[in-house]
Amino acid sequence: MNTEQFRVAAKAAIDEIANYHDSVPEHRVVSAVEPGYLRPLLPASAPLDGEPWEAIQSDIQSKILPGITHWSSPGFMAFFPCSSSYPAAIAEMYSNAFNGAHFNWICSPAVTELETIVMDWLAQALGLPECFLSGGPTHGGGVIHGSASEAILTVMVAARDKYINEATAHLPEGEDKEEETWRLRSKLVALGSAGAHSSTKKAAQVLGVRFATVPVSQDNGFSMTGEALTKTLDELRAKGLEPFYLTATLGTTDVCAVDDFASIASALGPRAGKPGEIWVHVDAAYAGAALLLDENKPLAEPMAAFHSFNFNPHKWMLTTFDCSAVWVRHRGHLIAALSIKPPYLRNQYSDNELVTDYRDWQIPLGRRFRSLKLWFVLRSYGIRGLQAHIRNGVSLGESLEEKLVSREDLFSVFTRARFGLVTFRVKGDDGGEEEVNRRTERLYEAVNASGRFYLTSTVVNGHFAIRVCTGTAAVREEHVRGLFELLVETVEKQLKE
Amino acid sequence: MNTEQFRVAAKAAIDEIANYHDSVPEHRVVSAVEPGYLRPLLPASAPLDGEPWEAIQSDIQSKILPGITHWSSPGFMAFFPCSSSYPAAIAEMYSNAFNGAHFNWICSPAVTELETIVMDWLAQALGLPECFLSGGPTHGGGVIHGSASEAILTVMVAARDKYINEATAHLPEGEDKEEETWRLRSKLVALGSAGAHSSTKKAAQVLGVRFATVPVSQDNGFSMTGEALTKTLDELRAKGLEPFYLTATLGTTDVCAVDDFASIASALGPRAGKPGEIWVHVDAAYAGAALLLDENKPLAEPMAAFHSFNFNPHKWMLTTFDCSAVWVRHRGHLIAALSIKPPYLRNQYSDNELVTDYRDWQIPLGRRFRSLKLWFVLRSYGIRGLQAHIRNGVSLGESLEEKLVSREDLFSVFTRARFGLVTFRVKGDDGGEEEVNRRTERLYEAVNASGRFYLTSTVVNGHFAIRVCTGTAAVREEHVRGLFELLVETVEKQLKE
């Protein structure tokens, strides 16, 4: 394909993409294909000779589109949203044009420098404490990862090395120190609340350290408290174990609970800044975007007591997947844990510490130019435009909650609307918990089978609940009303049967 | 930005991108900006109100472009290439339109199914043994990661868990088994040759296991041999350590050496398939693309003795960054090490094992629709078109080598052209090794300062050498000739001074 053919083909693709966006509401939300649908449609091997562009492009409509679940559909209220936008899509086009591996500053200075700047912009817009700014007092800063899972693994590595280094700093180099290091490694425990996303457990599994759960209860809205944390820590330490890392959550995946940051900070206070300190990472993958709203700014203040923070602009902030924003209070801990300097990566700028080499802030070496889409999104919408989008999701969640409450003969709200997430259950008669679980699951399956909406469910402390998330950009009051009517109609029919 | 505005803005961006591609050869290869160039050009914070699109788009030219190093320039002969193509660029546009997190099959069945199919296509095209096919006898298969670093970390996790599980399988569950597990963890050693990419060392650092280097020598063309490996393993085991993982390399970063796979397989043979077996991963990040050529197919055969293999289509196979292809012989080992199943990720398809959930084959949870660009590239070029592209890079490397040999009064070839990579040094007089290093470094710096070409250097066993890689798609004989003339002219001038 030469440049002229590219102009034609790419512009035709733009039209097709624009048409797709406008037609999304007409599609069934979730793809209806059966497992294995695609293999019989494609040849058994790659073609020997190149195919004409028209043949390739037409397969998008005929073979790929049927296998797509439409995350931008106003009926998509499952998981958390994965929101895209036109400005982000155009940014990605430029990013691909400036294609490179970008592991060093010199690989394309703009890639590194824009990332530092927009991550500072974003930290300010969220109201994060200044320790997370690149020019802040503790030499912190932000970096873009691909996913919260990577972010959590990365900070857990830094936390582990920091913990071990500080615990063995008093020992002289030698065999004793090495032995103590290995003894400590075998005792390390990473923690998260029962509501923490599975990525913390997975990171512990990857690193080969223990994982322990801090219980949460419905009385506290499933929020982790300092008290519960202290109890868990005491139990672990009584067994000779070494808790070194904690994920606290702002907006848990199952019910959008917010952990009690103030009491967690108090509980950990006595060891803060000393050997044995526990690294606290705050995972705000979804709900972090809500810190853009002034009314949520107080939630950001306690972060000053913690070590790192992440949220995913690709979830609720219109920044096409993938874009996970991570900030640390001391970048030195990341670099100490992750830096490797072989001769073929050396260059005068890095050697003289004039520049940031983000490869030392992450697991991969190469990096995409992801800051471009964040920059385009922040500028196209402006902070006020983004606030309006977030407020829309928040208030639609509240609207659904109100509707559910209006039919408390049929539904009980399990956790109230927060950050656009409501969870609820179907009312039971006298069949107890099991009957409620069964009825709720039945409703959940029927609504998803309709193809009009896509919801997910969760099980919290044995309670089966339906999750509805109204954060997808296209959701409007009419869709929430439509969902509610379908819920009522379906459950009434099911109760009659 | 509404859909109509997107059509206009995106098409204007297509024109700008097409113009950029055509103008690349006119640019200085490496950006000439000074560290910190961008911050003074941008406001101190994100705008409150959205900006007009024109203001954003025009900043690409005025503020971003000066900070770009042009990886697609015919003068880019540094590192390894990062090759893009128009078909891949269009695929990325569609991928972004079908935006989603795609961690489960049901998130968009096409994303999973196309990946399995094109990874099979690609394995066949490379001539990989059938154990790496998704339908192969050992239940293997391929997955797309973002980078070779992720690939290596991921398989190292699987290797570690497999090693420990097998070594402790004879023990009944209980405290003794747990103690032995932790004892083993403290003794694990991952290995790579002295030429293995730093990502293996980094993965070991991340996992908190020891890393040991197998020495290589110029006599063997810096290729790791079974003999050297055996010696290193014996030394480690004599210290009570437990080697569990090895990265073998097809095309090392510094000199494109190929490890001696046959002798490595023989050396490890006695433990193969038994507890204590060492997992061998073959890192072919750059040179793997050369397996597309029939004459290189014999290099793929010995892979049948190994456990996993990766190469990066984003390096030399025209598949815009990022796309790192990884295959394993037994997918079960990956899934055992990386699977986590919280209730909110469960669904009937995954629960019934009808589908592949690639999230269990990788560190991150979410995934981009990267198979689309691989599919577009394989179909647009066809295998023969890709072979022609790879052959071009290979023969241009040979052409440069010939030219260097023709001036053996000035240059000595350090390692011969292989896979489009040549390394060479400047001849010395009687000043010995130090003089050669100094002269070579001086030439290297002068050529890079010219802005016409971008080369990298390496230091192997104390020898400073200039690396020239001719794999970038735009490189032609005229550029190789131009580089050679500049090298001669510069070194002659420097020798006169």
- pLDDT range class, residue A351, cuts 50, 70, 90: low
Average pLDDT for residues A136-157, to the nearest whole number? 96
- Residue A304 placed within a domain: yes
Residue in A31, A48, A343 closest to B109 by CB: A31
Does the residue B83 lie in any domain?
Answer: no
Kindly report the nearest CA distance between residue A182 and chain B, in angstroms. Answer: 6
Do residue A343 and residue B79 have CB atoms under 8 angstroms apart?
Answer: no
Q: What angle do CA A481, A484, A486 make, to 5 degrees?
A: 110
Domain identity same for B334 and B436: no
Provide DSSP, B284-350.
Answer: -TTGGGGGGSGGGGGGTGGGGGSSEEEE-HHHHSS--S--EEEEES-HHHHHHHH----GGG--HHH
- Peptide bond connecting A322 to the previous residue in cis, omega within 30 degrees of 0: yes
Query: Do residues B339 and B222 share a domain?
Result: yes
Q: Domain check: are A25 and A168 in the same one? A: no
Residue A239 burial (C-beta neighbours within 10 Å; 0-12, 13-18, 19+): exposed
- List the single residue in A13, A84, A96 with the smallest CB-CB distance to B84: A96
CA distance A63 to B372: 12
State whether B344 and A18 contact (CB < 8 Å).
no
Which residue among A47, A84, A459 places its CB closest to the CB of B99?
A84
Indicate whether B298 and B206 sit together in one domain.
Answer: yes
DSSP state of B85: -
Residue B249 to residue B21: CA distance in whole angstroms: 33
Last residue of a domain, one of A342, A368, A394: A368
Residue A259 belongs to a domain: yes
Q: Looking at beta carbons, which residues of chain B come within 8 Å of A360?
A: none
User: What per-residue confidence (pLDDT) applies to A497?
Assistant: 86
Tell me, what's the pLDDT at A345?
Answer: 64
Summary mean pLDDT of chain A: 96
Per the structure, the complete domain to which residue B424 belongs is given by 383-496
Beta bridge partners of A245: A190, A279
Same domain, B355 and B398: no
Q: Where are the beta strands (DSSP E) in A67-180?
A: 141-145
Q: Which residues of B210-227 are buried (b: 16+ CB within 10 A; e: fewer)?
A: bbbebebeeeebbbbbbe
Query: What is residue A133's predicted lDDT score, i.e. its pLDDT?
Result: 96
Distance between CA A248 and CA A197 in Å, rounded?
10
Return d(Cα B193, Cα B221) in angstroms, integer.
Answer: 13
What residue of A is the nearest CA neighbor of B318?
A99
pLDDT, residue B262, reads 97
**Rounded to whole angstroms, how far apart are CA atoms A412 and B193?**
62
In this structure, are B390 and B266 located in the same domain? Answer: no
Q: Is B91 within the bounds of a domain?
A: no
Q: Kind and range of the H or E element at A262?
A: helix A261-268
A249: tokens are: 């959550």
Interface test with B, best of A24, A45, A415 (most B CBs within 10 A): A45
Parallel/antiparallel/unpaired status of strands A421-426 and A463-469: antiparallel
User: A68 vs B98: CB contact, 8 Å cut-off?
Assistant: yes
Instruction: Judge contact between B155 and B326, C-beta under 8 A.
Output: yes
- Whether the CB-CB separation of A80 and A286 falls below 8 Å is answered with yes
**Residue A179: how many CA atoms within 13 Å on its side-chain side?**
4
Among candidate residues B343, B368, B393, the one where a domain is terminated: B368
Q: Decide the pairing of beta strands A308-311 and B308-311.
A: unpaired
Mutation for testing the B interface, residue in A321, A354, A375, A461 having most B CBs under 10 Å: A321
Strand order of the β-sheet with B308-311 is: B141-145, B324-328, B308-311, B279-283, B242-249, B188-193, B210-214
Q: What is the pLDDT of residues A196-206, one digit of tens each?
A: 999 999 999 99
- Distance from the Cα of A340 to chain B's closest Cα (Å) equals 7
Pairing state of beta strands A279-283 and A456-460?
A: unpaired
DSSP strands (E only) in A91-227 = 141-145, 188-193, 210-214
How many structural domains does chain B have? 2
| Structure confidence at residue B341 (pLDDT) | 77
What's the pLDDT score for residue B355? 86
- At A388, the pLDDT band (50, 70, 90 cuts) reads very high
Contacts across the A-B interface (CB distance below 8 Å): 424
Closest CA to A282 of A312, A255, A252, A249: A249
Domain ends where: B368, B400, B429?
Answer: B368
Within 10 Å of residue B274's Cβ, how many Cβ atoms? 8
SS3 category, A469: strand
Residues A134 and A242 in one domain: yes
Residues B341 and B415 in one domain: no
Partners of residue A111 in chain B, C-beta under 8 Å: 67
Is the confidence at residue A346, as pLDDT, over 70? no
List chain B residues with CB under 8 Å of A157.
Answer: 206
Flag residues of chain B having pLDDT under 50.
none
Q: Among A454, A202, A332, A79, which Cα is nearest to B335's?
A: A202
Mind telling me how many Å the CA of B432 is from chain A's nearest CA? 21
Residues contacting A205, CB < 8 A, separation 6+: A211, B337, B338, B340
pLDDT at A438 over 80: yes
- Residues A18-26 have a mean pLDDT of 97
With a CB cutoff of 8 Å and minimum separation 6, the contacts of B318 are B83, B84, B85, B87, B88, B377, B381, B386, B389, B473
A259-274 burial, b at 16+ Cβ within 10 Å, e below that, comes to bbbebbbebbeeeeee
Q: Do B47 and A382 touch (CB under 8 A)?
A: yes
Is B393 in the same domain as B307?
Answer: no
**What is the nearest CA distance from B336 to chain A, expressed in angstroms?**
11
CATH code for the domain of B387: 3.90.1150.170
**One domain for residues B324 and B434:** no
Q: What angle do CA B334, B156, B351 make, to 5 degrees?
A: 15
Q: Is residue A408 one of the residues assigned to a domain?
A: yes
**Token code pair at residue B82:** 């990062």
pLDDT of residue B438: 96
Percent of chain A scoring above 70 in pLDDT: 98
- Say if B453 falls within a structural domain: yes
d(CA B371, CA A335) in angstroms, rounded, equals 32
Q: Which residue of B has its CA nearest to A90?
A: B10
Q: How many CA atoms does the CB half-sphere of B333 hold within 13 Å?
A: 23
Going by pLDDT thresholds of 50, 70 and 90, the confidence category of residue A122 is very high
The CATH number for A303's domain is 3.40.640.10
Q: What is this model's ipTM?
A: 0.96
Interface test with B, best of A99, A115, A150 (most B CBs within 10 A): A99
Say if residue A315 is in the same domain as residue A402: no
Tokens 């569609």 -> residue? B94
The token duo for A96 is: 């691909």
Nearest-neighbour CA in chain B from A496: distance (Å): 26
Residue A377 forms part of a structural domain: no
Tell me the nearest-neighbour CA distance from A483 into chain B, angstroms: 20
Choose, out of B64, B92, B182, B368, the residue to mutate when testing the contact with A (most A CBs < 10 Å): B64
As a whole number, mean pLDDT of residues A145-150 equals 97
Can you state the angle between helices B477-496 and B432-450, rounded to 10 degrees?
Answer: 120
A185-194, A262-271, B427-436: which has the minimum mean pLDDT?
B427-436
Could you tell me which chain B residue has the CA closest to the CA of A339?
Answer: B202
Cβ <8 Å between A51 and B382: yes
Rounded to an integer, what is the distance from CA B226 to the centroid of its chain?
Answer: 24
Q: Whose structure tokens read 């909406």? A: A453
pLDDT at site B354: 77
**Do B335 and B423 have their domain in common?**
no
Decide if A47 and B383 are in contact by the 8 Å CB cutoff.
Answer: yes
Of B2, B26, B108, residue with least CA distance to B451: B26
pLDDT value of position B343: 65
In a domain, B81, yes or no: no
Tracing tokens 């670099």 back to the chain, one arrives at: A335
Segment A269-304, tens digit of pLDDT? 999 999 999 999 999 999 999 999 999 999 999 999
